[in-house]
Amino acid sequence: MNFVARKRRILVDTGFTEYEMGLYSNDLQMYTTPPEIKITLREFEEQALERVKVYRIIEQTSAKGITKLSEEWRKAILDEIKAQGLKTFVKVFTGTGLGKTEADYEGRRRDHITHFICRLTYSRTEELRRWFMTQEMDLFRLRWHYLSSEGRQAFLKSNNLSYTSISEEEMSRLLTLSNGLVDSTKEYYKVPFTEVFDLISRRRIFLHKGFGYITSQDIISVIATQFRSFMSKQMMLCSNLYSRIIEDERLKAILGNLNTVYTGKNYTVGSGNAHEIDIKQLGTIARRAFPPCMLSLYSTLTNQNHLKHFGRLQLILFLKGIGVKMEDALYLYRSEFTKKMEPDKFDKEHSYNIRHSYGKEGKRTNYTPYACMKVINLNGGGAGETHGCPFKTFEANQLNKFLADNISNPEPGEVREIIDLAKNKHYQICCTKYFQTKNPGVKLNSIIEHPNQYFELSYSDRNSTSKTEDKKSVASS
């Protein structure tokens, strides 16, 4: 990806060069040409984060069980993109294709740049490549839906895709030949039958003299197949380039963390989220308000009197974020660890790390509690390890037992639904479903994205319920 600008003649009416206006002539792109412009590292990161937000919105909406590409699915995605203030993307994703304003070109350029940044970021592992391709394919299909007939024709022509919509004369002939299989109210494309075997097997097209006649809704299946094939090859090329790109430490810091970066509410200490936590009541609080990842760690700590390094760090930052004071955290860890080791050994090997996590040692950094994506990518589950996300690391029997132990009187099918979601790698949706079974009175408008978000929602709701009940008791007495 080359960020050196070419010297091109600038067209006064838009502020874009002639080259750029040709490159960004349509709202939908195949992304065959890398961007050649200068941007700052700050713009590089900020714009990439915007596209990552879009990917996560698509994933979360699809995982809710809404039929993909349905009107409800499209509306839910666009409503959430608008709610998160991503106005530029709303415009370019829902454009008819051929707008000529400066805002149209700017949106397309932003779309172009962010796609290539994310293509590079998500190229480094097979799992990341699959995830990226899924979101990009869904986004590609969504955007095709909004293109006008002229926009679709222009897209096909600019990408040398030899599919043309049939003329009125040919439509009249097909209506006679097809015995009702062709619908006069729809737009049809003429495609060689060899490119639509999947549609033939599903009997979705009319065949005549070696050509298939498919609707504008079905033509996207053909185009999307080509897009996927092209993107798969490009992702492998990016994978080979990635190790060279990250030799620049500045880019390594951005690209290496982009797929796990948290983009929601701030849960660092001092951001107004902490509660007054009584350390003596932490066991009770954990059972009712901790998310599964933290409940699993806390249970391991109190039952086995030890946690490995990443487990200690994951839990301590969470505890700090919910309001556990450093002195209380030290008391908790010391009281458990010293059941298996001498107090002097604990003070020598572990006290410093706890104080460091609270920003009282070393660089005195106010470390941030791990968000869900960070937890999921910790890759726990090794021998003696309990860090990471249980929905990812637990075996099916282990997860089933955990759910049975922690969900009282579940509705029929609730536990099975969570287990199935885990099998399909929808870990955050699993956590959201788990939360809803534990807190049936709390309405969620989005999925759980942070362990401290889970705690805040659960603990606040229980507290408000307890206070209401206490007031009723006082009033009745």
Domain boundaries, the chain: 18-157+224-255, 160-218, 279-476
Asked whether the whole model's pTM tops 0.85, one would answer no
Question: Has residue 183 got a pLDDT over 90?
Answer: no
What tens digit of pLDDT does each residue of 288-310 get?
Answer: 999 999 999 999 999 999 999 99
What tens digit of pLDDT does each residue of 212-238 get?
Answer: 888 877 888 889 988 999 999 999 999
Pairing of strands 188-192, 206-208: unpaired
Higher pLDDT, 219 or 462: 219
If one looks up domain 18-157+224-255 in CATH, what number appears? 1.20.930
Question: Has residue 327 got a pLDDT over 90?
Answer: yes
pLDDT recorded at residue 270: 60
Mean per-residue pLDDT for 145-155? 92
Range in 84-88, 228-232, 325-329, 354-358 with the lowest mean pLDDT: 84-88
Mean per-residue pLDDT for 442-461? 84
Cα separation of 89 and 78, whole Å?
9
Residue among 8, 48, 23, 26 nearest 260 (CA) = 48
- Across 257-278, b (16+ Cβ under 10 Å) vs e yields ebbbebeeeebbbeeebbeebe
What tens digit of pLDDT does each residue of 358-395 get?
Answer: 999 988 888 889 999 899 988 766 777 889 999 999 99
Tell me the H-state helices in 209-308.
216-245, 249-255, 282-289, 292-304
What Rg, from alpha-carbon coordinates, does the chain have?
27
Question: Has residue 469 got a pLDDT over 70?
Answer: no
**CA distances in angstroms from 216 to 77, 198, 227, listed in the order given:** 22, 16, 16
Cα separation of 392 and 149, whole Å?
44
Cα separation of 81 and 73, whole Å?
12
pLDDT level of residue 161 (50, 70, 90 thresholds): confident
Cα separation of 77 and 81, whole Å?
6
Residue 38, by phi and psi: left (phi above 0), alpha (psi -120 to 50) or beta? beta
Question: Has residue 477 got a pLDDT over 60?
Answer: no
Question: Has residue 140 got a pLDDT over 80?
Answer: yes
Residue 266, by phi and psi: left (phi above 0), alpha (psi -120 to 50) or beta? beta
Question: Has residue 7 got a pLDDT over 60?
Answer: no
Question: Has residue 318 got a pLDDT over 90?
Answer: yes
pLDDT recorded at residue 463: 55
pLDDT recorded at residue 14: 55
pLDDT level of residue 18 (50, 70, 90 thresholds): confident
Question: Has residue 472 got a pLDDT over 50?
Answer: no
Pairing of strands 211-215, 206-208: antiparallel
Task: Quote the percentage of the chain above a pLDDT of 70.
Answer: 92
